[in-house]
Amino acid sequence: MLRDGTVRVHPGAPGQIDIDVDTHGWKIGNGGLKIVADQEGNRVRFEVQEPHGFLVFDLRINRRVVIDVRVPPELDLDVTTSDGGVAIADLAGNIRLHTGDGNVEAQRPWATSRSSPATDT
């Protein structure tokens, strides 16, 4: 479970998923953040986990994680964070976003130009 992180999802190349993890105040690996990734068929799962038993005694420590993900624009997407924001832009697939405590920002490429025909009632 990650207490403070941001996930940003952008359109990328067809058939390819790229994930970059940028940390501040954390190390990745032994005693730090654990990154888990697996693929099953056309489903990809990526998770960043804090170490178990982690305690903060100095409240001035500024720790954060930013995960930048590039996916094919038509990809179906499910993003969940326990704490931290989620931002996506210019994706056209089915999208599900959830955060326990953070902002959600979503823009679709057709959002401002799509219109519905007027109906008579």
Per the structure, the complete domain to which residue 45 belongs is given by: 5-53+60-107
pTM of the model: 0.76
Residue 115 within any structural domain of the chain: no
Residue 121 within any structural domain of the chain: no
pLDDT in tens, 55-85: 555 555 677 889 999 999 988 989 988 888 9
- Beta partners for residue 119, in sequence order: none
Judge whether residue 118 has pLDDT over 60. Answer: no
Say which amino acid occupies 94: N
pLDDT in tens, 29-56: 988 899 999 999 888 999 988 887 655 5
Select the more confidently predicted residue: 90 or 83: 90
* 67: helix, strand or coil: strand
DSSP alpha helix (H) spans, the chain:
none
- Beta partners for residue 26, in sequence order: none
The pLDDT of residue 51 is 80
Residue 116 within any structural domain of the chain: no
Q: How far apart are the first and last CA of the chain?
A: 50
Give the number of domains in the chain: 1
pLDDT band at 121 (very low <50, low <70, confident <90, very high): very low
Residue 95 within any structural domain of the chain: yes
* 99: helix, strand or coil: strand
Residue 64 within any structural domain of the chain: yes
